[in-house]
Homo-oligomer: A and B are copies of this chain.
Amino acid sequence: MAETRYVEELIDQEDDFDRWYVDVIRKAELADDTPVRGCKVIRPYGFGLWERMVARLDTQIKATGVENAYFPLFIPRSMLEREAEHVEGFAPEVAWVTRGGNADLEEPWAVRPTSEAIICPSYARWVQSYRDLPILINQWGNVVRWEERPRAFLRTLEFLWQEGHTCHASLDEADERARQMLEVYRRFFEEDLAIPVVPGIKTESEKFAGALRTYTVEAMMSGKYWALQAGTSHNLGDHFGRVFGIRFLDRDGERKYAFTTSWGLSHRAVGATVMVHGDDAGLKLPPAVAPVQVVVVPIWRKRDDMAEIEHAVDRILQRLAPVARTRVDWRDDRTAGYKFNEWELKGVPLRLEVGPRDVEVDQAVLVRRDTREKQAIPLANLGPTVEGLLDAIQGNLFANAKRMLDEHTVEVDTYTELVERIGVNAGWSLAHWCRAPACEARVKAETKATIRCIPRDLPAQPGRCVACGGLSERRVVIARAY
């Protein structure tokens, strides 16, 4: 196998960002194709990244009082069809089980595309009185949505996610919960994945099928500066409460329908991490979620050096154990240069080289993946230095991504400029919109860009709709999206 197979074959981002993405996913061994159309294998390195995301997000979700549970994979057709908008939105994407145990089913079962329609019937059983509320449940699992143009992590027929489902006595409380979980997502992206996001509300045409209101966090990918819907949180009003009969006896003695929310974040967070931070040499993983934070590459020329190197590596591992997830690359059929390239491709935040000369002077050489800065570190200082550098890298990745987002988000006041920006992948446009569905539809039809969200943190400011010139209260984010 050619020594240089990894880096030589990785196309430059600016030549073809989409192909760079496909290549880096495969070469860094995050995921691979399978014989099942639209489905991917998540390989150990990619799954290790997802596992760390799951662990951190799970802790943050539980800190808000939510508990995990598990509901069935299958939803009988009649259940899925109860909420009219919901089924209209999801029916075209559903995989149907029609045979089981060598017999045809009387009623086909949907493989869950999302679980509202199977969770609400349970909530209807469990809720009798206001004392049973709120119900705060989350589920980690797989869902299936028929997908014609699969792309690893971003859009696959089967994908992994968490879906939270809560049930409340009032609309206000449901809305507060939906906004609270959006804030959990925002912090997760910004603090754990070093990805700045714009929180906001979806327009009527972009909201979740069956929702009263959908909140979203949108992230800017590098390359073409397209948007990625990174996580959504829905205030479902009492739509599902009514059709599934979730009723409770309130404090005032009246029987009322309950209000529900749902909120989901999927393994497209892995795809976002790849697309936001990566460069022509491969991935750059944020230390908070990197499966390997420090890779130690021992360098030896003669067998004689081995004992000393092994001893030095042992001491290094002892010092690093409390501060970093560390792996040693002892392979003897690869050169040091090959290993450097491979671990850069895999985006390990720090590389630590230890050769005979380093051992002599009791030091090691640390190389940052993000800046490629190289420094010799006395072994005695290794622990604190590595800890500090991992923090610095996490901060630097965020700062770079934030700079990209800021530089490529521009206020746009004319339709011509909007169309032009979208056409050349210049980035996101902050444009006025009069809230007319026709204007939104026109932009989409003529540019393929969509209103990503009405940003939460952008103050209202009167203006004229970029499409029709009508009155507008605030600017919205318009962009192409994955």
Contact = CB atoms under 8 A, between A and B. Distances in A.
Interface of A: 32, 34-36, 39-44, 47-48, 50-51, 67-76, 79, 91-102, 108-109, 111, 118, 121-122, 125-126, 131, 137, 141-142, 144, 146, 148, 157-158, 160, 333
Q: Identify the 3 closest CB pairs spanning chains A and B, nearest first.
A: A101-B146, A44-B67, A39-B72
Contacts of A96: 97-100
Contacts of A157: 100
Nearest to A35: B121
A157 B122 CA distance: 18
Nearest to A106: B37
Contact of A36 (B35, B72, B108, B137): B72
A109 B36 contact: yes
B158 A73 contact: yes
A151 to B, nearest CB: 15
A146 B100 CA distance: 6
A67 B93 contact: no
Contacts of A102: 91-92, 146
A158 B74 contact: yes
Nearest to A105: B95
B98 A34 contact: no
17 contacts: A32-B126, A34-B122, A35-B121, A36-B76, A39-B73, A41-B70, A41-B72, A43-B69, A47-B68, A72-B158, A74-B158, A95-B100, A96-B97, A97-B97, A98-B99, A101-B146, A101-B148
Given A36-B118, A99-B96, A100-B146, A44 B69 contact: yes
Nearest to A43: B69
Contacts of A68: 44, 47-48, 51
Given A43-B69, A74-B95, A96-B100, 11 more contacts: A32-B126, A34-B118, A35-B118, A39-B72, A41-B122, A42-B69, A48-B67, A73-B144, A92-B101, A95-B109, A102-B146
A335 to B, nearest CB: 15
Contact of A32 (B108, B122, B137, B333): B122
Most buried by B among A96, A141, A148: A96
A94 B118 CA distance: 22
A35 B109 CA distance: 11
B32 A74 contact: no
Contacts of A146: 100-102
Contacts of A73: 39, 111, 142, 144, 158
A22 B137 CA distance: 23
Given A94-B100, A101-B92, A42 B70 contact: yes
A74 B39 contact: yes
B158 A41 contact: no
A98 B98 CA distance: 6
A74 B42 contact: no
Contact of A35 (B40, B79, B98, B111): B79
Given A74-B158, A96-B99, A100-B94, A34 B69 contact: no
A94 to B, nearest CB: 7
Nearest to A158: B73
A59 to B, nearest CB: 12
A345 to B, nearest CB: 17
A77 to B, nearest CB: 11
Contact of A333 (B50, B98, B101, B131): B131
A69 B41 contact: yes
Contacts of A35: 76, 79, 118, 121
Contacts of A121: 34-35
Contacts of A43: 69
A102 B125 CA distance: 32
A244 to B, nearest CB: 10
A64 B75 CA distance: 38
Nearest to A42: B70
A159 to B, nearest CB: 10
A165 B141 CA distance: 20
Contacts of A50: 70
Contact of A71 (B41, B51, B93): B41
A140 B79 CA distance: 28
Nearest to A117: B35
Nearest to A331: B131
